[in-house]
Amino acid sequence: MIWDPVFSTDSKRIAAKAELKGKYFIVVDGKMGKHGFDELWDPVFSPDGEKILLRCMEDGKYFRRIVPVSEL
């Protein structure tokens, strides 16, 4: 399953939350991220479109991470 896409401010990038085998992943520009999460909320792009805010849960803990798009 894949959720509604989110576009960067300049509309050059697209991201979405996806579920695969009970884990949630971030998909950016058609490429799925390497790391799966127990829960994941919709991603949020930085104003320049180079970073993404990930709100996620892993092992029962809530995290907010700002990750460069190049590292996904």
Domain boundaries, the chain: 6-71
Over residues 48-59, the mean pLDDT reads 94
The owner of tokens 């700002």 is: 66
In this predicted structure, the answer to whether residue 4 has a pLDDT above a threshold of 90 is: yes
Residue 72 has pLDDT above 90, yes or no: no
Tokens found for residue 37:
């999460």
C-alpha span between 48 and 33 (Å, rounded): 20
